[in-house]
Structure 1
């Protein structure tokens, strides 16, 4: 984990890079024009942390909400049967231990003495009720599909829960981890999303639509009790305004929601600090393999060699990312490091395009275009800048790239219908389970049944993924996914770009920050505010 800061208050100079590729965002220019003074007034309540986020959580019921902000807050208010470690392995949360006597049965033994925020003790009946409400359709939730293999939930006693499956499913434990599903009380009311009650380190205090969500410390939490008294999530949609609030001292934290240009400017302020940690959010360019040129593997590989990803990370992202080798991050237990890589090599890209049947037109000189493609992006600034750089880099090897920025709803509609040649998006969280290979690359997962939007087909990959999904032995499963990753790296249905770092800009009064690779908010239960009396109770 890297921390960046500086003494004194200085203003950043918006100058040109020493590289031939220079980027200055509109957001940064606006920010520099609006910079406030160096004064940093402290919040009125020293025990409250003000955390700026860009959107309001859509639903605080952990059985229903699937947007990123909802799931991050679920993880603070609720506990799961299991949680995830840094290598994406399931480990106990509400469950002290578990066993699987056969591939269709999982038996969980609950911690005793765990209490909901209303004081009632948690029992196996609450666990059963949570999953029964999902399975029965009593609540409308997109999470129901994740439990299609679950046949029944049984409660032989108050501290034991038995899950029975219809068929083996190796990712079943993953689907029980927090924040996939948090456990809610069996007597949850119809308006539970407005008044959520969990067993997590923070309890819900209040919410105002599109303004704030306020959580307070759960002094009876069964593990480490947070030292901060409250955390106030303020919804501030504009990144420039978020940066200015940090600058003024009216906010304490912003995580992963500032433009890369703004971060080094804020790091120069004496009372601010930047904590940076490798993350798991995966950025990519997807190919439509039904498009005549892009159906050729040599063309896909040529475009990878024509992409200077190191320049993108250094100059566009200001070093706030790591190059990606594939969907899984390097910290993942199933990550395979020995796969083909595509370092920037425009000469090799040209040779591959020649071999694929796309030579430069004879007698047209070295600037003639051999191929024209269209890249669809969202309208956010970072993706538009990415498109502009790819346009420049690919032109050097004779590929003309037309850029077509679209609103997200239109972009998703187009790519779901296969109406694209190339598009760029990112996976946030979905790539933390290797079962994503089935969802995005298996031939049966072409939309509307999945996210194989590029219509990639490889019978060998299909067979390996099908085997891995039911393989109970962890080491054998890892070997299967290693071969899957080697196949994907050779076939290149995606052009790997980078894995974004988690970048937290915070006041120096916020200490002992330990970010998780997933970029969630769980670190809040461990932070310590300078000069604030500490809670003595510690949990398991």
Structure 2
């Protein structure tokens, strides 16, 4: 039998049209299957296509039981303090920001209806009308002003303070406009305002805020929050965003232990988990009612050396450690290919200005030994870790210790408690394992973790000629509107960090999750953070 190519194309187009009708509820499952059979599709295939199409149709109802890692007993509802995917997801269940990064990585106005600027220095955000907080208060420019004033206050310890340092002035203009005047042009500024610390809380008449109230404009109303244990929220019946917040209830459970999280999913105690170890993908694939959901993005593992603590102020020692880690071994044994190699800077191949011209740093024990001897250091180097930064963190640290030994460097792995890791180890211990979800723009990533003014500079790399030059280049690139010049600047910034910075960045990791196959979601999953950009609570549904 000869298959006509034109007929095949027509059949595919017909099935796509029918699937769209089924997805939109314009035909039922039986009619779709009968049409597929008439088009020559086998019954099992037709039934599978119907199931896929129906799963793509958002439905209201049910309780999502979401097992998430990185819950911490020190967590707070104050957005200025948030450090983890657990609090990020908690925040976006109940609140919104001015902008949102969509599943495709593009910027979407959120509480802002429109965003305008002629010169990338003066930005006008027009707020949506009719948006209400959970306490019934209408969203106004005063709420925006109060929230940003909180993060930008002179005595603020907000993690977003450094991100907002380029704002010279914020003012109200009319009933619904907020104007941001920047000290210099910043073409990426609207992206910055999608940061998860910048969710909007309702202000009081006197301009004060209760940042720990949990009140917001989001799709779910917070009912219970137990730090390190549980977040429970119910659907906001007055949610302003159409086509979102499908579940009746969302229960997010803190399950920091990878085995416990996976066991809970397999036993049916939860519907979704983040942080699936690549080595366990085959196991999940063998279970008929579970799916692996994977998204590439900007996430990466870091091993920061705090350069303000001995012996890490010595760049020969830093270079020795960078050269003594076997990145390919980590990729092969732990990630099983689910990621890409890192090059000791935080800009991933998915970024617009990724410097692909930099030679890949290889495992070189001889050169590492040369730099180690030149550093003058001797004795044991302690590396703190736990599974909190991500599954396999301890195994990675042990592989690093083994490869460093080949260069004559004694690295001792210290297994720290998982609870309190971000509070008691990260940014406290001089050498530790960390992880970043990444940021969608180069400037944002640098400003969040590497510039001198950020609260989250986990390497404390803020002084010296190289650090000074890096900060100068980042500031200049932020306001440079010529694309070619901007690319050159970001290329240089990546080179400086790789050669002088305090971070070992061995790998970029895919976000790997496992879910019950009764959950539905859009075809494209956000990779900017775990859990569909940390917004699966409002984006997903029960099929």
TM-score with structure 1 setting the length: 0.72
Deviations 1:290-349 (CA, angstroms, capped at 9, x unpaired): 97899465x7666555533222122233444332233022222332222120244x5xx4
Deviation at 1:77, TM superposition (A): 1.9
**What is residue 474 of structure 2 aligned with on the other side?**
465
Deviation at 1:173, TM superposition (A): 3.3
Check whether the contact 2:85–2:534 (CA below 8 A) recurs between aligned residues: no
1:227 matched to 2:234? The reply is no
462-471 vs 186-195, greater mean Cα deviation: 186-195
Alignment of 1:251-290 (within 5 A): 251-256=270-275, 258-286=276-304
The change in CA–CA distance for 1:161 and 1:251 in structure 2 (over 3 A counts) is same
**What is residue 378 of structure 1 aligned with on the other side?**
385
**What is residue 63 of structure 2 aligned with on the other side?**
48
**What is residue 405 of structure 2 aligned with on the other side?**
395
**What is residue 155 of structure 1 aligned with on the other side?**
172
432-441 vs 385-394, greater mean Cα deviation: 432-441
Q: Distance in 1 between matches of 2:229 and 2:455?
A: 36
**What is residue 202 of structure 2 aligned with on the other side?**
185
Alignment of 1:168-183 (within 5 A): 172-183=189-200
Check whether the contact 2:315–2:500 (CA below 8 A) recurs between aligned residues: no
Deviations 1:52-108 (CA, angstroms, capped at 9, x unpaired): 124268233445545442222222322211122468664422223222345542211
**What is residue 250 of structure 1 aligned with on the other side?**
269
The change in CA–CA distance for 1:353 and 1:233 in structure 2 (over 3 A counts) is closer
Alignment of 1:16-415 (within 5 A): 47-54=62-69, 55=71, 58-62=75-79, 65-85=82-102, 90-102=107-119, 104-135=121-152, 141-166=158-183, 172-187=189-204, 192=210, 195-208=213-226, 210-219=228-237, 220-256=239-275, 258-286=276-304, 295=314, 304=322, 306-325=324-343, 326-344=345-363, 346=364, 349-350=365-366, 352=367, 358=373, 374-380=381-387, 382-406=392-416, 408=421, 411-412=425-426, 415=429
Q: Distance in 1 between matches of 2:488 and 2:278?
A: 37
Check whether the contact 2:427–2:458 (CA below 8 A) recurs between aligned residues: no
1:489 matched to 2:498? The reply is yes
Deviation at 1:181, TM superposition (A): 0.7
The change in CA–CA distance for 1:86 and 1:475 in structure 2 (over 3 A counts) is farther
Check whether the contact 1:377–1:406 (CA below 8 A) recurs between aligned residues: yes
Deviations 1:197-255 (CA, angstroms, capped at 9, x unpaired): 32223333433555432223335332323332221112334333322221211210111
Q: Distance in 2 between matches of 1:103 and 1:90?
A: 16
Q: Distance in 2 between matches of 1:192 and 1:151?
A: 25
Q: Distance in 1 between matches of 2:368 and 2:79?
A: 49
Structure 2 stretches lacking a partner, 5+ long: 1-59
The change in CA–CA distance for 1:289 and 1:121 in structure 2 (over 3 A counts) is closer
Deviations 1:124-179 (CA, angstroms, capped at 9, x unpaired): 23323332444458997454454344344322222211123455566643432242
**What is residue 452 of structure 1 aligned with on the other side?**
460
Deviations 1:443-483 (CA, angstroms, capped at 9, x unpaired): x5699987434966415434322322443556543331122
The change in CA–CA distance for 1:353 and 1:293 in structure 2 (over 3 A counts) is farther
**What is residue 521 of structure 1 aligned with on the other side?**
534
The change in CA–CA distance for 1:375 and 1:453 in structure 2 (over 3 A counts) is farther
Deviation at 1:498, TM superposition (A): 0.8
CA RMSD of aligned residues (A): 4.0
The change in CA–CA distance for 1:158 and 1:241 in structure 2 (over 3 A counts) is same
The change in CA–CA distance for 1:152 and 1:221 in structure 2 (over 3 A counts) is same
58-67 vs 234-243, greater mean Cα deviation: 58-67
**What is residue 46 of structure 2 aligned with on the other side?**
none
Structure 1 stretches lacking a partner, 5+ long: 1-44, 360-369, 531-540
TM-score with structure 2 setting the length: 0.72
Match of 2:197, SS state, is: coil
1:510 matched to 2:525? The reply is no
Q: Distance in 2 between matches of 1:287 and 1:63?
A: 25
Check whether the contact 2:298–2:508 (CA below 8 A) recurs between aligned residues: yes
Q: Distance in 2 between matches of 1:61 and 1:289?
A: 30
Q: Distance in 2 between matches of 1:130 and 1:414?
A: 28
The change in CA–CA distance for 1:491 and 1:114 in structure 2 (over 3 A counts) is same
Larger relative helix fraction: 2
The change in CA–CA distance for 1:472 and 1:201 in structure 2 (over 3 A counts) is farther
